[in-house]
Amino acid sequence: MNYKFTPIYLVAAVLLSFGTAAHAQSDLKKANRLFSESSYALALDHYKAAIAKREPDAQTTQRIADAYRLTRQTGQAEAWYAKAVQLPGSDPMNLYYYAEALRSNGKFAEAKEQYMKWAEAQPEHAEQAQKKMAAVDEAQKLMQQPTAEVQQLTTINAGSFSDFSPVPFGKGILFTSDRGVASDKKADVYGWTGRPYLQLFSAEPDAQGNWGAPVALQDVLHSKYHNATASAAENGQQLYFTRTHMVRQRKGGNPDPTSWVNEPEKPEHINRLEIFLAQKEGETWGNIQPFAYNNVTEYSVGHPALSADGQILYFASDMPGSLGDTDIFYTERQPDGSWGQPVNAGPTINTPGRESFPYADASGKLYFASDGHAGMGGLDIFSAEGTHANWSGVRNLGYPINSPKNDYGIMFTEPGERGMLSSDRDSGNGTDDIYSFNVLLKPAVLAITTLERKQNAKAADTPLAQVSVAITQEATTNTETVTTDAKGQYFMPAHKGRNYSLTGTKNGYLTQKAVAAIPVTASDTVQVALLFDKNEVDRVIVLENIYYDLDKWDIRPDAAAELDKLVTVLQSNPELKIEMSSHTDSRESEKYNLTLSERRAQAAVEYLVSKGIDKNRLTAKGYGKSRLVNNCTDGVECPEEMHQQNRRTEFKIK
């Protein structure tokens, strides 16, 4: 070919394309290096530049998707995982990450579809996928029943930076932010987020409740580390806070504390957390000392939270004894002022996932963030009743305190009524903001117990395990079916001022129903019991508290209330036919007692018919004093309570 006649513009185009390709390759090389160093935000800048010049290959597509996920930019993560799942030989976990992104973005139907595909691609995760799909359904239910008003605190938040984990501090709050400190002109940039390192800031409201400009807590600043998630003693003289160290990785470890996600690759270095204590010295903070149980070469310890009395310190860690990725631990203050050996808060609180950001309110109730308990997506905020390692009633705080994204770092300015929390729900770039909230529906825990009735007066009713209970909230169509445990118990999150209908079923037993009415003034835990009788022909079941006036057979109001319970049993078991029987004590003649008992049994049947029960299902039978349950026969002196045992009303299954 004779090149001397090649047009000059074609030569220029060829040279330009070579230059463009070279620049793209250079950007890609830098991006991959930064990605391997966990500098995901910085890597994304170079990936963007590279793909502007040429189409991304499979590895680049994968890494861009991962980088957006790890920087919590869920909108972009969704778009790139949509591409990644189409790649030949795509890792099946991309289906999971795609589903998670869709769920975070409120695309619930699409998320369930991807969870299902993930289960098909990796059957070993089918159970987890089913739990995720169930959580998606629960999230949609929660969003239909708002429990609070939530508003972003724009006067505290710093726009495109992260602000989170507010805690009470003096007259205002202390919180964490990566907005940088104005006086630090050479502040390092944290490559993972592309923003300055986290530091502590305080803010106070004025007399009108308007928040003043946040001020950096200069005394504990350290430009080479994150300083974050603090807790101040009530007397204002001690401050516990989290500091991050970068250490050389030897055998795995938890990820960076600001990401809450697993890293796609094992970097050479990882960040580990430590707790430090600062003492108030006049108007400044000093004498910064490490927590006795820090051990950055082996595990992280962070997110300290003091109890109101300062005697318990809760924190998050992946130290030995953890049940999951990170757990809530606690330590008790010793008589000499030191802290005792840390103790895991137990399996009621901790899961195989991540529990973090603990907070104890003035009453001792524990709040924490988790992605292991069933939630709306990402981290959700939960509460639990109890002390130390004995907790019960773990409850999701509902919508909109929780959202499909990450919600954590709660505090109360008025226990149970109002406070603050942090969330990335409105963020497009993965940053967090602080929100205020007012509780509209106060939370409660419905403690359900299922028991088997014992007809022997000396035998106590016993727990009935594995009972299926369908629970419907009044004025809604939302029904949740749960199963009681080996102790016949189930703890369900509920709200004060609401009524809940319960229907319990178990093979071989009569179906039982109850209504749990939770007053606005109720305690945080409301007990409700379902008492089950075996469904056996000729089985006799005593109705308690059925009383008649002397020589009368009229149904008194107190007896009517008990018979109404039998109406419910008959309505719940439409195939059930019964004999209604009445018994007397031994006093008076046989003829008199027989007539009286027959009239009482018939009166009970007529009452049931008046309540809509088909009379063909009912038989009345009076037994007089022929079937005494004790030795109080004619001529035997007995106390009145023993005579009362004989004056009973029963029904027998036919």
User: Which uninterrupted H or E stretch holds 580?
Assistant: strand 578-582
pLDDT over 70 for what percent of the chain?
Answer: 89
pLDDT at position 477 is 72
pLDDT score recorded for residue 445: 85
CA angle, 447 then 452 then 455, to 5°:
135
> pLDDT tens across 93-113, in order?
999 999 999 999 999 999 999
Burial of 429: CB neighbours in 10 Å, binned 0-12, 13-18, 19+ = middle
Q: Is pLDDT of 145 > 50? A: yes
Give per-residue pLDDT as tens, 258-283: 443 344 445 455 678 999 999 988 88
User: Distance between CA 343 and CA 331 in Å, rounded?
Assistant: 6
For the cut 60, the answer to whether the pLDDT of residue 540 exceeds it is yes
Query: Is 70 exceeded by the pLDDT of residue 248?
Result: no
Helix (H) or strand (E) holding 532: strand 525-532
How far, in Å, CA of 61 to CA of 94, rounded? 11
pLDDT at 19 over 60: no
**SS3 of residue 603 by DSSP:** helix
Burial call 331-364: b when 16+ CB within 10 Å, e when fewer:
bebeeeeebeebebbbebbbbebbbbbbbbbeee
The confidence score (pLDDT) of residue 376 equals 92
Rounded Cα distance, 219 and 221, in Å: 6
SS3 category, 346: coil
Q: How many CA atoms lie within 13 A of 217 on its CB side?
A: 27
CB burial string 214-234: b at 16+ within 10 A, e below: bebbeebbeeebbbbbbbbee
pLDDT band (50, 70, 90) for residue 456 = low
Highest mean pLDDT among 122-131, 245-254, 491-500, 543-552: 122-131
Q: What pLDDT score was predicted for residue 186?
A: 64
The full 3-state SS of 278-328, as one line of letters, equals EEEECCEEEEEEECCCCCCCCCCEEEEEECCCCCEEEEEECCCCCCCCEEE
Backbone angles phi, psi at 101, to 5 degrees: -65, -45
Q: Are 202 and 214 in contact (CB under 8 A)?
A: yes
> What pLDDT score does 454 carry?
77
Alpha-carbon dihedral 68, 71, 72, 73, rounded to 10 degrees? -50
111 contact partners, CB below 8 Å, separation of at least 6: 99, 100, 102, 103, 132, 136
CA-closest candidate to residue 268, choices 34, 29, 30: 34
Using the predicted structure, report yes or no on whether residue 44 has a pLDDT greater than 50: yes
Q: Are 165 and 175 in contact (CB under 8 A)?
A: yes
> CA–CA separation, 125 vs 65, rounded Å?
22
Question: If you average pLDDT over each of 332-336, 373-377, 382-386, 588-592, which comes out highest?
Answer: 332-336
Give the angle 316-485-472 at the CA atoms, nearest 5°.
95
CA angle 533, 537, 543 (to 5 degrees): 40
Point out which residues pair with 324 in neighbouring strands.
Answer: none
For residue 186, CA distances in Å to 22, 37, 163 come to 32, 21, 21
Closest by CA position to 142, among listed 374, 316, 459: 374
pLDDT of residue 274: 93
**pLDDT attached to residue 613:** 94
Instruction: Round to whole Å and give the CA distance between 39 and 56.
Output: 19
The size of the chain, in residues, is 654
Whether residue 473 contacts residue 498, with contact meaning beta carbons closer than 8 Å, is answered with: yes
Average pLDDT over residues 141-164: 92
Task: Answer with the residue of higher pLDDT: 560 or 449.
Answer: 449
∠ Cα 45 201 209 (to 5°): 120
Select from 358, 349, 302 the least CA-distant residue to 324: 349
Contact 315, 300 (CB under 8 A): no
Q: Rounded to an integer, what distance in angstroms lies between the CA atom of residue 409 and that of residue 643? A: 62
Give the highest mean pLDDT range of 99-113, 382-396, 616-630. 99-113
Give residue 11's pLDDT: 40
Q: How far apart are CA 250 and CA 297, in angstroms?
A: 8
pLDDT at residue 233 tops 50? yes
Q: For 184-196, what is the mean pLDDT?
A: 80
pLDDT on residue 6: 46
> What pLDDT score does 5 carry?
47
- Asked whether residue 524 carries a pLDDT value surpassing 90, the answer given is no
Paired residues of 381 in beta bridges: 369
Tally Cβ neighbours within 10 Å of residue 164. Answer: 26
Question: What integer pLDDT is reported at residue 282 of this predicted model?
Answer: 84
Token digits of residue 50: 């590279």
Residue 636 has pLDDT above 60, yes or no: yes
- What are the backbone angles phi and psi of residue 141, rounded to the nearest 5°? -65, -45
- Give the model confidence (pLDDT) of 282-339 as tens digits: 888 889 999 999 998 889 999 999 999 999 999 999 999 999 999 999 999 999 999 9
Q: Which domains does the chain show, CATH number per domain? A: 3-143 (1.25.40.10), 148-440 (2.120.10.30), 444-532 (2.60.40.1120), 540-653 (3.30.1330.60)
Label residue 464 by pLDDT band (50, 70, 90): very high
Say how many Å lie between the first and final Cα of the chain, rounded: 105
Q: Are 64 and 50 in contact (CB under 8 A)?
A: no
The C-alpha atoms of residue 243 and residue 220 are separated, in whole angstroms, by 10
> In this structure, what token pair is assigned to residue 562?
């008990």
What whole-number distance in Å separates Cα of residue 218 and Cα of residue 320?
Answer: 34
Angle, helix 74-84 to helix 58-70, in steps of 10 degrees: 150
Residue range 545-559, pLDDT digits in tens: 676 665 677 777 777
Q: How many CB atoms lie within 10 A of CB 88?
A: 5
Quick check: helix, strand or coil at residue 459? coil
Sheet holding 215-216, edge to edge: 163-169, 172-177, 199-203, 215-216
Percent of the chain with pLDDT over 90: 55
Residue 136: name the closest of 362, 404, 413 by CA: 404
Report angle CA 66, 257, 290 to the nearest 5 degrees: 155
Least confident window among 150-154, 287-291, 533-537: 533-537
Q: How far apart are CA 273 and CA 245, in angstroms?
A: 6
Rounded mean pLDDT, 8-26:
54
* pLDDT for the residue 356: 96
Mean pLDDT of the chain: 87
Token digits for 43?
């890597």
CB 428 within 8 A of CB 442: no
More confidently predicted of 89 and 646: 89
Q: Which residue has the higher pLDDT, 257 or 121?
A: 121
The reported pLDDT for the residue numbered 550 is 57
Note the pLDDT of residue 13. Answer: 46
